[in-house]
Chain A
Amino acid sequence: MPITAERGYLIPAINSGSIDYEACAEQLATSIRTWHPEANITILTREMLPYGDLGGFANDWQCFAASPYRQTIKLEADMIATGPVDHWWTLFEHRDVVISQGCRDFYGQVSDCRSYRQLFDQNQLPDVYNAITYWRFSREAKEFFDLVRNIFENWAEFRTLLKFPDESATTDVVYAMAAVILGPELVTLPKGLGPQIVHMKRNIIPTLTDNWTNELIWENANPGLRIQTVAQSGFVHYHNKDWRMS
């Protein structure tokens, strides 16, 4: 896709099964515009994929070719912007690729829950979350996404490098392997420096059930979001794909 702007947010939204990722992406785009009315935002739908729908996570590497921006922040669709995030551009702009590391609970504290990250720990992979990924249109970023593509397409071979690998490749694991191959210092910021998603998964928060919206008090602060009275910042990964703020 031709470059049309210097900076912008790219939100992949390929509907699958019963999950309406496009609706999630619309909500995310609306929340970003609440804070940054002039922001460039592209929702990447199935028909916009340059190499067609390869199914699920395997589409991820196409984001590089699909982005119309010289600098892109890719965001997972099932998130919401709960505060300004444009200062991240200043943080990222000196790098070719930045994948976020670690996650926070809704109190803003870095999570020490490892129950969803055992594969990462057992294989000493960097604790990356592709939910927030930045890249600059560059040879290095292309190399990164070529490698991501290579790992997805040759998962049967790459998974033999891991202890207790998943049957199917997932984006976070593939990004982590690519980071190890290229050098984590080239594609991540030092821990604690870059942005981290607020992860609303059960063991992180911790709730008794998967659907946190049934247990926790959340408020649309208009603009913004409070959970258990605590004002959220950055991106909240709400996990429950049907949740809508209004």
Chain B
Amino acid sequence: MTRGVTIFAFNNEQIDYLAMAAWSAQNIRRHLELPVCVITDVDDPERTKAFDQVVVTESPVTKQHRYFYDFKQAAAWHNMNRSSVHDLSPWDHTLVLDADYVVASDQLNVLFDTNQDFLAHDRAIDASGYPPFNDNNRFGSYKIPMAWATVMCFRKGKTAQLIFDTMQMIRDHWEHYKQIYFIPEQTFRNDYALSIAMNIVDGHTLSMPAIPWPLMSLTSHAQITQLESDTYRIDYENTNTNGKVKWILLQNQDFHAMGKRSLGAIVANNS
């Protein structure tokens, strides 16, 4: 059974996701010792040489735009084809990572040793303790528990196929599912689709197994600086700090960098 990591990378006018994915591939090889596949619309061997496998596919058609707090403007959000990973990923046992997920340890390797066909995070926390973050673990007017599509580990087979097919169904009928689940936001999010899909596939019991640790996250309010290869300084300001900027160090700790500007600068420095 082949194992590997798959990253989606569709650039927009603001963010070079492919460069992020290429930098992430180096971290993945160093810590997880796994091959990395990129799914992208960039058909340029020079720009994709960092990857073991490249799946070139058309950029998902989208009218979606998302406001990026750190860029202070909206940009196109090409997130509509995540659910095709079951068909596109070349590995039998795949770890799907967001391009902005920073691998700084070998912790994710544990997921390959679990006896589960599909795993995702059901809880995220903010490394800086950003207070409103708990709200991100639920969505919709009636606070549905969130499953995060940032890190997904799946074995190809019936369960994963069902989950991804259901995500596609939800994506294709988003207006309908938005109404059923009372989701006021207009934008489609893979996290929402995954949450609803897991609920449906699991017989509406919300009891699917989850990754047994929380998704460490940093919002775009945090400034991330790389000090050493796996050591990051996080400068942050939140409602608890009364306007003062505080900082913490993250060392050998994986995290989801929601602030693309900080991460983009780190990637640029390393390339």
A→B interface (CB under 8 Å) = 105, 107-109, 205-207, 216-217, 226, 228-231, 233
Contacts and interface: CB of A to CB of B under 8 A. Distances in A.
B142 A205 contact: yes
A228 B144 contact: yes
Contacts of A231: 203-205
A108 B143 contact: no
A207, A231, A233, most chain B CB atoms within 10 A: A231
B73 interface: no
Contacts of A228: 142, 144, 180-182
Contacts of A205: 142
B180 A229 contact: yes
A124 to B, nearest CB: 24
A226 B200 CA distance: 12
Q: Which 8 A-B pairs have the closest CB atoms?
A: A231-B204, A229-B204, A231-B205, A230-B204, A107-B145, A107-B206, A108-B206, A230-B206
A206, A230, A233, most chain B CB atoms within 10 A: A230
B203 A109 contact: no
Nearest to B203: A231
Nearest to B181: A228
A206 B180 CA distance: 16
Contacts of B199: 229-230
A207 B199 CA distance: 21
A105 B138 CA distance: 13
Contact of A207 (B142, B145, B180, B204): B142
A147 to B, nearest CB: 38
A107 B144 contact: yes
B165 to A, nearest CB: 18
B254 to A, nearest CB: 25
A229 B145 CA distance: 13
21 contacts: A107-B143, A107-B144, A107-B145, A108-B205, A108-B206, A205-B142, A206-B142, A207-B142, A216-B142, A226-B204, A228-B144, A228-B180, A228-B181, A228-B182, A229-B181, A230-B199, A230-B204, A230-B205, A231-B203, A231-B204, A233-B205
Contacts of B181: 228-229
Interface of B: 142-145, 180-182, 199-200, 203-207
Contact of B180 (A105, A109, A217): A217
A216 to B, nearest CB: 7
B145, B200, B203, B204, most chain A CB atoms within 10 A: B204
A16 B190 CA distance: 50
A108 B206 CA distance: 8
B160 to A, nearest CB: 21
A217 B142 CA distance: 11
A107 B142 CA distance: 10
Contacts of B145: 107, 109
A178 to B, nearest CB: 34
B191 to A, nearest CB: 16
Nearest to B144: A107
A50 B199 CA distance: 48
A104 to B, nearest CB: 11
Contacts of B142: 205-207, 216, 228
B89 to A, nearest CB: 29
Contacts of A108: 205-207
Contacts of A229: 180-181, 199-200, 204
A226 B181 CA distance: 13
A91 B142 CA distance: 32
Nearest to A226: B204
A108 B144 CA distance: 11
B176 to A, nearest CB: 12
A108 B199 CA distance: 12
Contacts of A226: 204
A160 to B, nearest CB: 37
A206 B143 CA distance: 7
A115 to B, nearest CB: 15
Given A109-B145, A233-B205, 19 more contacts: A105-B143, A107-B145, A107-B206, A108-B206, A205-B142, A206-B142, A206-B143, A216-B142, A226-B204, A228-B142, A228-B144, A228-B180, A229-B180, A229-B181, A229-B200, A230-B199, A230-B205, A230-B206, A231-B203
A30 B143 CA distance: 31
Nearest to A227: B142
Contacts of B182: 228
Contacts of A206: 142-143
A34 B205 CA distance: 20
Contacts of A230: 199, 204-206
B142, B144, B180, B203, most chain A CB atoms within 10 A: B142
B66 to A, nearest CB: 26
